[in-house]
């Protein structure tokens, strides 16, 4: 394996599973940093504040600051705040949890639940989703509001199984409004990668994307023009890989193998 200047790592399934760190992951990240490589962490999950992810990584032995974590809430907030996309300062209604709402407010967007003034409807992962929120989103979409989503994951893995993720909220809004979501900023959209590369200050070809999901992490790395490494410490098994047409550049048992491969 060539030595990359920057590494973009997925979180769940790549660095930890639930509250358990992947053995060797802290040493691997420490070694990359010791060699002067840039490292950023990405997640599709809009449920936690970036600070909470940084604290969790730090607690698990991977010292991290908030700015090193990029999740779909942040990417969406930055996308909306970017004046090039015509929605800077827009009035937004988000079906999502408080960390997303905070990220949007911080980016200068105005939050509202009045359909007549909502210019953008955002579908996200929301464990407090209900008919009232559905109806507000629906009324705004019917009036022509833009329709964006943080992520499109059907489910989110949790202790003992999975629970409905943003895919359910998108499905509910599409099922009543006759509209289709216009943009999903999370993986496998290139937007989350663009922000990671910007943070690293490196071109795609100088970076390696490391993750445990073929359809999101690996596809997205390829699309961004990056090399990719699949780790088998998460949801993908070697037999899944042999059945898939998606081909990562490298396949590792876990991220712990990374420093050895590049030395």
Stretch that binds a copy of itself, among 66-74, 76-84, 136-144, 224-232 (CB under 8 A): 136-144
Q: Does 176 bind a copy of itself (CB under 8 A)?
A: yes
Hey, which residues between 63 and 92 contact a copy of itself (CB under 8 A)?
none
Residue 165 a catalytic site member:
no
How many whole angstroms from its chain centre is CA 101? 16
How many angstroms separate the Cα of 2 from the Cα of each of 130, 152, 227, 260, 262?
49, 33, 10, 11, 6
* Residue 20 Rama label (left phi>0; alpha psi -120 to 50; beta): beta
Q: Does 175 bind a copy of itself (CB under 8 A)?
A: yes
Q: Does 161 bind a copy of itself (CB under 8 A)?
A: yes
Stretch that binds a copy of itself, among 16-24, 98-106, 176-184, 195-203 (CB under 8 A): 176-184
- The 85-124 site mask, x for binding a copy of itself (CB under 8 A), equals ----------------------------------------
What SS3 class is residue 152? coil
Q: Does 131 bind a copy of itself (CB under 8 A)?
A: yes
Find the angle CA(43)-CA(44)-CA(46) to the nearest 5 degrees. Answer: 100
Stretch that binds a copy of itself, among 41-49, 163-171, 184-192, 236-244 (CB under 8 A): 163-171
- The least distance separating a copy of itself from the CB of residue 125, rounded to whole angstroms, comes to 10
In whole angstroms, give the CA distance from residue 4 to residue 32. Answer: 10
Residue 67 a catalytic site member:
no
Residue appearing with tokens 């491969």? 261
Q: Does 216 bind a copy of itself (CB under 8 A)?
A: no
How many whole angstroms from its chain centre is CA 138? 25
Q: Are 255 and 21 in contact (CB under 8 A)?
A: no
DSSP state of 109: P
Q: Which residues are catalytic?
A: 10, 12
In the complex, which residues of this chain contact a copy of itself (CB under 8 A)? 126-131, 134-135, 138-139, 142, 154-155, 161-165, 167-178
């Amino acid at each position: 394996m060539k030595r990359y200047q920057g590494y973009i790592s997925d979180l769940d399934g790549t660095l930890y599973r639930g509250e358990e760190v992947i053995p060797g992951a802290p040493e691997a990240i420490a070694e990359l940093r010791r060699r002067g490589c840039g490292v950023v962490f990405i997640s599709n999950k809009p449920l936690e504040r970036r600070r909470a992810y940084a604290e969790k990584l730090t607690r698990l032995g991977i010292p991290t600051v908030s700015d090193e974590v990029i999740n779909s809430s942040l990417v969406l907030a930055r996308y909306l705040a970017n004046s090039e996309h015509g929605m800077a300062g827009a009035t937004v209604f988000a079906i999502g949890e408080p960390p997303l709402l905070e990220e949007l407010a911080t980016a200068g967007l105005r939050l509202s639940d009045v359909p007549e003034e909502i210019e953008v409807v955002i579908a996200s992962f929301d464990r407090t989703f209900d008919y009232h929120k559905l109806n507000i989103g629906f009324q705004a979409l019917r009036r022509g509001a833009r329709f964006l989503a943080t992520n499109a994951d059907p489910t989110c893995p949790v202790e003992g199984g999975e629970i409905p993720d943003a895919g359910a909220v998108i499905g509910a809004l599409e099922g009543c409004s006759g509209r289709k979501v216009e943009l999903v900023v999370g993986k496998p959209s290139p937007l989350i990668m663009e922000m990671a590369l910007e943070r690293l200050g490196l071109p795609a070809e100088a970076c390696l994307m490391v993750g445990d999901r073929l359809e999101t992490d690996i596809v997205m790395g390829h699309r961004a023009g990056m090399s990719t490494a699949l780790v088998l410490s998460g949801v993908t098994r070697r037999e899944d890989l042999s059945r898939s047409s998606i081909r990562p550049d490298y396949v590792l048992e876990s991220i712990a193998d990374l420093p050895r491969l590049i030395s």
